[in-house]
Amino acid sequence: MRGVVFPGNRKIEYLEVPDPTPGPLDVVIEMKASGMCGTDLQNYRRPLDQPAYMPSLIGRPPIAGHEPAGIVCAVGSAVPAQLARVGQRVMVHHYQGCNACAHCRTGWQQLCRNVQPMVRVYGNNDDGGHAPYLKVPANTVVTLPDSLSFEAGAAIACGTGTAYQALRRMHLSAADTIAIFGQGPVGLSATQFARAMNARVIAIDTNEQRLEHARRLGADVAFAPSGDGDVAEAILELTGGQGVDKSLETSGAASARSAAIRAAKTWGTCCFVGEGGEVRINVSPELLRRQMTVMGSWTFSTTGQAECAAFVAAKGLDVGQLYTHRWTLDRAEEAYRLFDQGVGGKGVFLL
């Protein structure tokens, strides 16, 4: 089969590799959908002389794509039937740790510190979903409910699942007003979920197209920061001077992080999911004298991923509305070129 790899310098290559066969504890998935994500873009953009986002664990560039969904087509000899069976519709929880530590046993394999040099991350340091087939350990598959499309599964396997987990971690309720900073794939999913949880949603982004998308997904208010005004001030005005109960920061920008803290009300909660960088916090006035809770949230567990899928199915949400582009694998070059240029929103390969 041929899979998409990122050699660097904004190039796409198709690598010819043997069709995978399962080891005793593995499954092979016939891929149906494989999402495109911001971390893929980091690997795509990196200069040729710069190492990949994660060093490969397989002695060659790994096939990209860490948001896989498809149908199990082969099962290893030692895989219990309860774990996986041929014909099962699945997503992949795209990490593999030691399987023995407390994190791994509770479905948080990405938090494992027992494997050297690092956890396996499919599509980053081992083969991922941008290919017709994907081999993964059977304990990484998460059932995709029948009513959900494969592209919905691919979304839940990364950004959409991340958004859901963050809202659950903040115990978002119908009584809450939430400000969601950044309306990229994670922020838009959070807007859609927060609305489905009956919270009042204030969406913030600098891009008018994304704000329009946020309104369509149910944001009560969606606005761009004005050049001279403070976003936190604007949010205080929208909430009768109180601030929001919860704020979620998805962009990773220092200014947005600071605004997300200051826009929350006394006893409020702020959650960061945007990766990288730093933020400066004036601790007394912004945090402790307002009894603030600030937390980080990184993706989700296997059971959290299943819970997100069940929520999407129960509420009849169309998380596929997130995608602006659908591609076939042979158009990967064009797909990543447009993604790199910031044209449109999230893309997905359908196979």
Q: Which residues of the chain form contacts with Zn ion (CB under 5 A)?
A: 37, 97-98, 101, 104, 112, 114, 158
Helices (H), 170-218: 185-196, 208-216
Taking alpha carbons only, the member of 116, 83, 80, 123 closest to residue 97 is: 116
Q: Which is nearer to Zn ion, 40 or 176 (CB)?
A: 40
Taking alpha carbons only, the member of 100, 88, 74, 186 closest to residue 141 is: 88
At residue 11, φ and ψ (nearest 5 deg) are: -110, 155
Taking the complex as a whole, the smallest distance from the CB of residue 126 to Zn ion amounts, in Å, to 15
Taking the complex as a whole, the smallest distance from the CB of residue 72 to Zn ion amounts, in Å, to 22
Q: Which is nearer to Zn ion, 134 or 179 (CB)?
A: 134
Residues 183 and 191 sit within 8 Å (Cβ to Cβ): yes
Taking alpha carbons only, the member of 194, 91, 215, 66 closest to residue 151 is: 91
**Partners of residue 179 on adjacent β-strands:** 202, 247
Taking the complex as a whole, the smallest distance from the CB of residue 172 to Zn ion amounts, in Å, to 22
Q: Which is nearer to Zn ion, 161 or 243 (CB)?
A: 161
- d(CA 273, CA 345) in angstroms, rounded, equals 18
Q: Which is nearer to Zn ion, 189 or 269 (CB)?
A: 189
Taking the complex as a whole, the smallest distance from the CB of residue 100 to Zn ion amounts, in Å, to 6
Q: Which is nearer to Zn ion, 112 or 190 (CB)?
A: 112
Taking the complex as a whole, the smallest distance from the CB of residue 65 to Zn ion amounts, in Å, to 9
Taking the complex as a whole, the smallest distance from the CB of residue 256 to Zn ion amounts, in Å, to 20
CB-count burial class (<10 Å; 0-12, 13-18, 19+) for 179:
buried
Q: Which is nearer to Zn ion, 114 or 303 (CB)?
A: 114
Taking the complex as a whole, the smallest distance from the CB of residue 74 to Zn ion amounts, in Å, to 25
- d(CA 204, CA 4) in angstroms, rounded, equals 34
Q: Which is nearer to Zn ion, 97 or 320 (CB)?
A: 97
Strand order from edge to edge, sheet including 200-204: 221-223, 200-204, 177-181, 244-249, 264-272, 293-296
Contacts of 72 (CB under 8 A, 6+ apart): 27, 28, 29, 30, 84, 85, 86, 87, 88, 90, 141
Taking the complex as a whole, the smallest distance from the CB of residue 263 to Zn ion amounts, in Å, to 26
Residues 236 and 211 sit within 8 Å (Cβ to Cβ): no
Q: Which is nearer to Zn ion, 39 or 247 (CB)?
A: 39
Taking the complex as a whole, the smallest distance from the CB of residue 299 to Zn ion amounts, in Å, to 9
At residue 162, φ and ψ (nearest 5 deg) are: -60, -45
Contacts of 181 (CB under 8 A, 6+ apart): 187, 204, 205, 231, 247, 248, 249, 250, 251, 256, 257, 259, 260, 274
Q: Which is nearer to Zn ion, 68 or 268 (CB)?
A: 68
> Which residue type occupies 258?
S
